[in-house]
Amino acid sequence: MQAWFASHPVVSYIIIFVLITYVYNKVFRVKQKLPLLKEILLYILMALGSGMLLIFQHDKLPIIQCLLVAVALMLLVRVRYFVEGRQKKKAEAAAKRS
């Protein structure tokens, strides 16, 4: 997999940028939106950071794989919260019926 990513740097860069953007939006994003210029600056800095991570990926560090693990863990936590919320609603409904 590392060899394929090394031979396709544009695809690797896009994957890294998309994964970093997802992690930022799900973990670090505040509830209120930033002003437009700050938002643009933030995405430019994330694009530059993705370029740096692409260099590390090219030097045989598993950057994309680590980002995929981070995203998978975030999705696992979201599924857990969803299941806990459904169980809580069922428990509340059962308590109302009793």
pTM, entire model = 0.84
Task: Give dist(CA 93, CA 98) in Å, integer.
Answer: 9
- Give the pLDDT confidence score for residue 33 in this predicted structure: 86
What would the mean pLDDT of 72-92 be, rounded to a whole number? Answer: 94
Q: Kindly state whether residue 47 falls inside one of the protein's structural domains.
A: yes
81 band by pLDDT with thresholds 50, 70 and 90: very high
Which value, to the nearest 10 degrees, does the dihedral of the CA atoms of residues 17, 23, 26, 29 take?
-80
Structure tokens at 20: 């970093």
What is the structure's pLDDT at 45?
Answer: 97
Does 30 score more than 80 pLDDT? no
Biggest CA pair distance of the chain: 64
Is residue 16 within 8 Å of 63, Cβ to Cβ? yes
85 within some domain: no
Q: Look at residue 97 and tell me whether its pLDDT is greater than 90.
A: no
- The domain in which residue 23 lies consists of 2-72
User: Two tokens at 89?
Assistant: 């609603």
29 is a domain residue:
yes
Residue range 12-36: mean pLDDT, rounded: 91
Please state the domain count of the chain.
Answer: 1
Domain for residue 55, yes or no? yes
